[in-house]
A and B are shown apart, each in its own frame.
Chain A
Amino acid sequence: MATSVQRNLTDSRPQASSAMLKPGPQIVPSAVAETANAVRVRGLSRRFGSRDVLQNLNVDIAAGEFVALLGASGCGKSTLLRILADLDREFSGDVEVPHRRAVAFQAPRLLPWKTVWRNVVLGLPGGADRKRALEALEEVGIGHRADQWPKVLSGGEAQRASLARALVREPDLLLLDEPFAALDALTRIKAQELVGELWQRHGCAVLLVTHDVEEAVLLSDRVLVMKDGIIAHQEVIDLPRQRDVADPVFAKIRGNLLDCLGVRHGTHGNS
């Protein structure tokens, strides 16, 4: 179940050799390449100054797959996510992502001068469609806040609005960078459930960056652990949905991941 060699993560496809790496950044919509993958990354490197944050990283995400990404703080998770979101092109390697992407960041990042519903449909073709915005807001449970200014929303509400804004675009790939990190424990559990439901309804591929091992195992099909600029480890979670934290298999997977993250088993998460 667990594999710790990066080579195994890229299934049967030919390995990206250095000869294959084209110089300069490239983002090719996956519709062009014939693949069922939502994300295909080969030999991705990114340096900041003299520091290599990503070093020849490979990763695939299947269409409709829910993948969680764990890793120590500062290991480059957000860097990877920003590259997949086309916010950073200073990389080398091959990156293929779908045309329709959406991002929800750790901070909700709503435009404070637009009401909530206008934020949700901003940038959609066809202009400000209030009905569509309301549907999306209903779906995340804050339809009644549609006409508020973002600044008066609570943290959880703002995060939901940000999620609605991402989902209303009907993305093939949803990128989430620690979207629950700033929420309190209860709101967080609700938000996690919500994301699980929304994912099942929309069927998009999801890459969820998180620090919460439990959250990762609860929600995802596969958990990746990033270390030293590559995906160093993965766990495939084939537990049935509505997972139970108390399940021994769940606990074992969590233990493996904690070990892998360098947190000693037994000192953490054994509540």
Chain B
Amino acid sequence: MTIAEIGPVATDRERGRKRLPPERPRADGLHLQRIDPVSAKGQGLPRWLRRASGPVALVLLWHVLSVTGALPGEVLAGPSTVLSSAAALIETGELQEAMWVSLSRALTGLAIGGTIGVTLAVISGLFRLGEDMVDAIMQMMRTVPNVALIPLLIIWFGIGEAPKIALIALATAFPLYLNVYAGIRNVDQSLIEVGRTLGLSRLAMIVNVVLPGALPSALVGLRYSLGIAWLALVFGEQINATAGIGYLMANAREFFQTDVIVVCLVVYALLGLAVDFTVRTLEKVFLSWRPAFNGT
């Protein structure tokens, strides 16, 4: 058999019968698409370098604008000023202390809020009675904007650490609650059936099937919670803070130190990134069974 016989060659008769379009000239007949293997893509530049190029270009632009005077220092300090004031703040130890205070506020709030959110979600996810008692209340309360609670929190807890942490705890409890609850309720029914045919006890079913099944969703909740924890931290630190990044920022505002403000913003961003990295690592560890879509 020759190649011509195997290939999809339509005879004139067939073409008439199937009403195929008249044969086009071979040259532009078929547009073939080349499919490159992954290894051939983005050759040369390593991934981290490509990812870093955007931020680096932005900082360069900012530097150029500052040096040329297009961006006056009172509006926004240039990168070199920011760096030197960061160095000064680190030397006096102010920055580290402020970071530590802020980070521990965020994590304490998250620990409290997360424990409450996850516990309530497990209760209302696993038990019908729990659902009836808890879920309606949670669904109602989550619609109240957290920031609107600040006056109440100040009245209840004063102006020390307590209202700040309470605000963060409140804000982080809901995303975790909603996602863990949904995760538990959406566990694949067919896997529950498998558990039953394997004779799993109720506890074994929860440990082996329900909770692992809810884990992907729970980690999404954790991410949301962390994002919100940061937001709540910034708001919370506006309440008469005497330490922390928010306090540094408030001081800087008094003296129009835009360089210090930028340092604080960068620190917020870096802390956020570090925490996000932690969650990603957790996902890698706990969801290693799931071949994930990594984007293109």
- Using a CB–CB distance below 8 Å, which chain A residues touch chain B? 85-87, 101-103, 105, 107, 109, 111-114, 122-123, 149-152, 165, 169
Contacts and interface: CB of A to CB of B under 8 A. Distances in A.
A85 B199 CA distance: 11
B195 A123 contact: yes
Contacts of A152: 291
Interface majority SS on B: helix, strand, loop or mixed?
A: helix
A113 B215 contact: yes
Given A105-B190, A122-B208, A123-B204, A112 B199 contact: no
Given A114-B208, A123-B204, A109 B289 contact: no
A122 B191 contact: no
Nearest to B198: A123
A150 B288 CA distance: 12
16 contacts: A85-B197, A86-B196, A86-B197, A87-B197, A103-B197, A111-B194, A111-B208, A111-B212, A112-B290, A113-B212, A113-B215, A114-B208, A114-B289, A149-B288, A150-B289, A151-B290
A102 B197 contact: yes
B246 to A, nearest CB: 40
B199 to A, nearest CB: 5
B289 A107 contact: no
Contacts of B195: 123
Nearest to B205: A123
Contacts of B254: none
Interface in B76-104: none
B200 interface: yes
A158 to B, nearest CB: 13
A101 B212 CA distance: 25
Which of A85, A86, A102, A113 is packed against the most chain B CB atoms within 10 Å?
A113
B193 interface: yes
Interface residues of B, number: 20
B209 A111 contact: yes
Given A102-B197, A107-B190, 17 more contacts: A85-B197, A86-B196, A86-B197, A87-B197, A105-B190, A109-B190, A109-B194, A111-B191, A111-B209, A112-B289, A113-B215, A113-B289, A114-B289, A122-B208, A123-B199, A123-B200, A149-B288
Interface string B205-219: 000110011010000
Given A122-B208, A123-B204, A151 B191 contact: no
A109 B198 CA distance: 12
Nearest to A150: B289
Contacts of A123: 195, 198-200, 204, 208
Contact of A122 (B190, B200, B215, B291): B200
B28 to A, nearest CB: 38
Interface string B255-296: 000000000000000000000000000000000111100000
Given A87-B193, A105-B190, A113-B215, A122 B198 contact: yes
A78 to B, nearest CB: 12
A94 to B, nearest CB: 21
B197 A101 contact: yes
A18 B199 CA distance: 32
Interface in B87-126: none
Given A101-B197, A122-B198, A123-B198, A109 B191 contact: yes
Nearest to B193: A87
B223 to A, nearest CB: 19
A86 B196 CA distance: 8
A86 B212 CA distance: 24
B195 to A, nearest CB: 7
Which of A103, A107, A123, A151 is packed against the most chain B CB atoms within 10 Å?
A123
B210 to A, nearest CB: 11
Nearest to A122: B198
A149 B289 contact: yes
Interface string B170-196: 000000000000000000001101111
A165 B200 CA distance: 14
Which of B204, B288, B289 is packed against the most chain A CB atoms within 10 Å?
B289
A169 B212 CA distance: 24
A241 B202 CA distance: 43
Nearest to B194: A109
A73 B271 CA distance: 58
A76 to B, nearest CB: 18
Contacts of A112: 289-290
Nearest to B196: A87
Contacts of A122: 198, 200, 208
A126 B198 CA distance: 14
Nearest to B215: A113
Interface string B10-29: 00000000000000000000
Contacts of B290: 112-113, 151
A151 B288 CA distance: 11
A114 B286 CA distance: 11
